């Protein structure tokens, strides 16, 4: 809903200071015992966070073609309606972006959007309750890694 393919040139921008968290993670698996970032197995991108420049292209480097990368921006003060999520597959020549509630954008080169819904999480993990089934991280993991134990 807030992720999109980019064909336009961005304007300059600064750090994402109005967010509580901004993280990027290479996702390698899913652990349905948890929700939020902990349910997504993989390593965080150390060179990405609240001080990352916005509205400027960031090239995904150090990843292999087809790696899966999750970007999550959590608002401050916390309001889940303002949180933003972007999942991409590393693909040379592709571009993706994420509108933040502040009006800034996170822009990624070599990134192809992966879309997901909450349907698989709601159907397969209904017994876990809304904390799990409404969590976007969990929704993605449940859909993309639907054969996880």
pLDDT digits (tens, 9 = 90+) for 104-121: 899 999 999 999 999 999
Other CB atoms within a 10 A radius of the CB of residue 33 amount to 10
Percent of the chain with pLDDT strictly greater than 90 = 60
pTM metric for this prediction? 0.85
Q: Is residue 11 exposed (0-12), middle (13-18) or buried (19+ Cβ within 10 Å)?
A: exposed
């Amino acid at each position: 809903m807030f992720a999109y393919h980019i064909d336009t040139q961005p304007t300059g921008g600064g750090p994402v200071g109005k967010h509580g968290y901004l993280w990027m993670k290479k996702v390698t698996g899913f652990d349905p015992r948890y929700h939020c970032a902990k349910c997504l197995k993989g390593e965080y991108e150390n060179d990405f966070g609240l001080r990352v420049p916005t509205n400027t292209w960031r090239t995904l480097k150090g990843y292999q073609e087809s790696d899966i990368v999750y970007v999550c921006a959590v608002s401050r003060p916390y309001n889940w309606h303002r949180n933003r999520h972007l999942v991409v597959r590393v693909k040379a020549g592709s571009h993706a972006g994420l509108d933040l509630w502040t009006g800034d954008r996170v822009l990624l080169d070599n990134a192809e959007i992966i879309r997901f819904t909450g349907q698989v999480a709601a159907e397969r993990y209904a017994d876990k309750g809304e904390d799990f089934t409404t969590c976007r991280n969990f929704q993605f993991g449940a859909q993309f890694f639907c054969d996880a134990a």
